[in-house]
Amino acid sequence: MRTRPLLFACLLFVLASSLASAQGFEIAPFIGYRFGGSVQDYYGGQTHGIEASESTGITLDIPLGGGPNYLELLYSHQGTHVDVGSITGTQSYPLGIDFWMFGGLREFPGQNEKVRPFLAAYVGMAHFSSSQGGIDSENGLALGIGGGVKLDLSKHVGLRFDARGYLAFVSSSGGMFCGPYGCGASFSGSGLIQGEGTASLLLRF
């Protein structure tokens, strides 16, 4: 299961390499804050929130047709934890949540050419994993929406600020917090919703 995100990343960067010869493509590594999502206790039925924490990632924007439209590739990682119940008490599980997305971004330039507001929409994959032994990873379809602004400081350098929302479709019956003594919790419901705010250094080539 862990090979799927790596394969997806390879496919994204092969696509990027084939298109990046177009002038005006932009790379923006970011740092941010991700929040939202929960799991449900198998034994008590209580819902436990996933801890909000720092997120990191990168976007790659490839211009389409020389206009305000871009193909965007997005990777975002959150390292967090969740406290869930088990037959032996409450246990804290490390949790990694990765989004591998592609989609479209449209800018809405105004009178100031150095300020570029935008909206974006994505589709891709969510990957859930844990560094704790005996816990299976899980993948699911993911959708996303976002918006923000790009601020050009020079021809090749700028800043970018984003607000995004993610919806990941995960199995509520399988759960990933399982071990030799049974399952402690599962994702509650069939969809996991998270929000994210990020700040990026924007590099344009």
Whether 171 shows a pLDDT value over 80: the answer reads no
Q: Are 160 and 151 in contact (CB under 8 A)?
A: yes
Q: Are 104 and 188 in contact (CB under 8 A)?
A: no
Calculated CA dihedral for residues 47, 53, 58, 62, nearest 10 degrees = 50
- pLDDT, one tens digit per residue, over 100-120 is 999 999 999 888 889 999 999
Whether 197 shows a pLDDT value over 60: the answer reads yes
Q: Residue 183's pLDDT band (boundaries 50, 70, 90)?
A: low
The Cα 73–Cα 43 span in angstroms is 40
**Interval 11-33 mean pLDDT:** 73
The average confidence (pLDDT) of the chain is 82
Q: Identify the bridge partners of residue 72 per DSSP, sorted by sequence position.
A: 61, 103
Domains by residue range for the chain, with CATH: 3-204 (2.40.160.20)
pTM recorded for the entire structure: 0.84
